[in-house]
Chain A
Amino acid sequence: MATPERVVIAAAGVVTPIGQDLEGFWSSLVTGASGISQIERVRVDDLRVQRGGEVKKLGRIKDWRGVPDCRASRLLIAAADDLCAQTGFRPLPLDPARVGVVVGTALGGVEEGEKALAGDRGRGRLPQALYDGPGWALAKWLGARGPVITVSTACASGATAMAVAADLLRAGEVDAVVAGGYDALCRFVLRGFDALRSLTRDEVRPFDRRRSGLLLGEAGALALLVRERDARGPRLGTLLGYGSASDGFHIAAPEPEGRGLERAVRAALADARVSAADVDMVSAHGTATPLNDRIETAALKRALGRRAHEVPINSIKGSLGHTMGAAAALEAFMCLLSGQRGLIPPTLHLEEPDPECDLDYVPGQARPARPRIMLSTSMGFGGCNGALILEAA
């Protein structure tokens, strides 16, 4: 079978609780900064846990005219603004019909639905409440007139979006895609996770013996993807492969052995035409729930074999919380920056190793290393498992 055309991640833009652009995000990660704080934008006084990774002020864009009054859309567009500032991608330098938008989200604009049901009859509330509303708002802001696709594979959505974007490029349907993920902290999701008792009152401690749950975060994370033959100038890296698999086990809990994640990793390695021995670093889903981290450790051991014990594995969710639809895209960018800058961000708040999580999770401080091939894993509600294989520039 012919080798598929390589897809380059030319640049990335973000808005996160630890930085409102890619450089701020990266420097916060490597210095061990935390973006967790008391949530202020929505009511949380009746919830068990009232903290999260909230973006306190969307300061990048001063003029929001023409942009829907929708938090999710604005996170996405703020990330796009960072991307465009680096790439000069607005106004579009290409035929707008050849530029696509692919975004992943777990929640879409559900907060607009909350407002509409509370009696707010503002124009556009309901169209934005549909989960594909923010993706269309982004396309309009960019001026892109190619395909606009929203995927919602729960917390694996950002990975799925990058893979769909690569497919669009390989199929020749577009010449460039702005792809990634987003999700906003809103009462809907905070109440939901609070009810599930998934949130911790402690720090988020991935792979730590004392880990007791996750905290939610909000973010927008977008990359510019192009075919390698069309790539000009600097680049972050290459998207080599993607794999997905369903658990087929439970609507909310992961399969106890992590078989779905293992299949997704194996499929991604095969798609990328690399072996486990080629992997230099893993960005784990690492939510810090007691179940997730143990299952993920077991799945990585099976999928990577001996290599799982040799490579650094980190989770950045201790720094910014679980940003849901944005998480996989942010983690992919972190991987590529690690390879480019020669530094692997630490797993924040990992202090007491768990005997059941006995791999090298980069505790303490950022580690000097220059990984070339990286694996990034994601797991989500409904047994969605996704894995990306990335190559640093």
Chain B
Amino acid sequence: MQAPAIRALGILSGEVRSAVPSADGGSAGAICGPETVDSKALDILALPRPDRPGDRFRRATRECLLALAAVDAMLEDGKASREAIAGERTALLYVTAAAYGASNRAFIEQRGGVMHFAYTAPAVVPAEVAIEFGVTGPYGIVIGGAPATLRAIEQAARLLAAGTCDRALVLAVEIFEECADLYTRHRRSYRWPLVETAACLWLERGAGGISFESARARGRAGGAAGPGERFAAGPLVELREWRARATGGPVELSGRWRGEQARLQWSPENSHARGSAA
């Protein structure tokens, strides 16, 4: 299948890291790098709730606001205006394993008593992006870890190749802090620390090749993106690291979740991303 080209990548991450300059002096994927918040020594590297003006966001959840900030970061990386992604020719694919856990818990425990029920749905995270940026094209929402994100990239490639859209956004958000005590009950299931991440990848039609494969595998969830666990957001951080290396050539992204090990091999040869990593 024809591979998509990378137009831009925005990442917010709970890690302590500065933007890595790429070959042409641009940043290798915009990183809105808030100070890391160590979450009560629970080995969760958390992201603070972004400020966003406007009454509409008063009740928005942290995961929604992080998603919006990731899209802002992506637009900054691509030096693009928000109008560039508006409209029905933009597809939006959202992936998360567990970001909805925070709002689900708040609703169950009635903390503050003001959690709007609709905000408990995973679908509301891409909905806030769609509303804020006017994205009204095809969409998909996949629940799962890193393999689900690799599938979403492949799905984006398919939509682009079929002409169903002109650009596709792959959005991944994972937050952990609100459910830290629950994750520690399953401490051995994850690669600690858990690193909160929100990321958005902008893809357009390209000329390289892309192939996806998955198989059953044993072992903990995880990806190849540095230490720690980011669930669905891992592959996009891995992609950022590939861009930062600026060595060009194919990129291989991988990840594991529950019983699945997946791998995406990708030659985004005509990538015209800022930073021209390829």
Q: A residues touching B (Cβ–Cβ < 8 Å)?
A: 1, 97, 106, 108, 110, 113-114, 116-117, 121, 126-127, 129-132, 136, 145, 147-154, 160, 164, 167, 171, 173, 188, 191-193, 195-196, 243-252, 259-260, 263, 267, 380-384
Contacts and interface: CB of A to CB of B under 8 A. Distances in A.
A131 B143 contact: yes
B186 A245 contact: no
Contacts of A113: 101, 104-105, 108
A250 B117 contact: no
B131 A249 contact: yes
Contacts of A147: 151, 214, 260
Interface stretch (B70-78, B133-141, B199-207, B270-278): B133-141
Interface in B35-94: 88, 92
A263 B119 contact: no
B108 A246 contact: no
Contacts of A106: 121, 123
Contacts of B109: 117
Contact of B131 (A153, A154, A248, A381): A248
A383 B140 contact: no
Contact of A136 (B118, B123, B259): B259
Given A153-B139, A167-B155, A247-B136, A126 B131 contact: no
Given A117-B105, A381-B123, A248 B138 contact: no
B144 A381 contact: no
Nearest to A253: B118
A143 to B, nearest CB: 12
A244 B123 contact: no
A383 B142 contact: no
B124 A382 contact: yes
A243 B130 contact: no
A195 B97 CA distance: 27
Size class of the contact patch on chain B: 35 or more
B127 to A, nearest CB: 3
Given A97-B216, A116-B182, A149 B142 contact: yes
Nearest to A145: B216
A383 B134 CA distance: 12
A246 B117 contact: no
Contacts of A188: 104, 107-108, 120
A246 B216 contact: no
Interface of B: 88, 92, 97-98, 100-101, 104-105, 107-109, 116-124, 126-128, 130-131, 133-144, 148, 151, 155, 158, 162-164, 182, 185-186, 212, 214-216, 258-260
A246 B260 contact: no
B122 A152 contact: yes
Nearest first, the 9 A-B pairs at minimum CB distance are: A382-B127, A192-B117, A382-B123, A252-B118, A248-B130, A246-B130, A154-B123, A150-B143, A248-B136
A244 B94 CA distance: 14
Interface centre among B135, B140, B259 (most CB of A within 10 A): B140
A149 B186 contact: no
A108 B108 contact: no
10 contacts: A97-B215, A113-B105, A132-B144, A136-B258, A136-B259, A145-B216, A154-B121, A167-B158, A193-B117, A252-B116
B121 A382 contact: yes
A38 to B, nearest CB: 22
Given A117-B105, A246-B92, A251 B122 contact: no
A316 B259 CA distance: 37
Given A150-B143, A245-B136, A126 B258 contact: no
B160 to A, nearest CB: 14
A126 B182 contact: yes
Contacts of A382: 118, 121, 123-124, 126-127, 130
B124 A381 contact: yes
B137 to A, nearest CB: 6
A252 B185 CA distance: 33
A260 B136 contact: yes
A164 B134 CA distance: 25
A358 to B, nearest CB: 27
Contacts of A126: 182, 185-186
Nearest to B214: A147
Nearest to B257: A132
B92 to A, nearest CB: 6
Contacts of A249: 131
A251 B122 CA distance: 11
Interface centre among A108, A129, A173, A384 (most CB of B within 10 A): A384
Given A251-B118, A252-B118, A381-B124, A150 B131 contact: no
A178 B8 CA distance: 36
A136 B185 CA distance: 21
B93 to A, nearest CB: 10
Given A245-B137, A382-B121, A108 B131 contact: no
Nearest to A100: B214
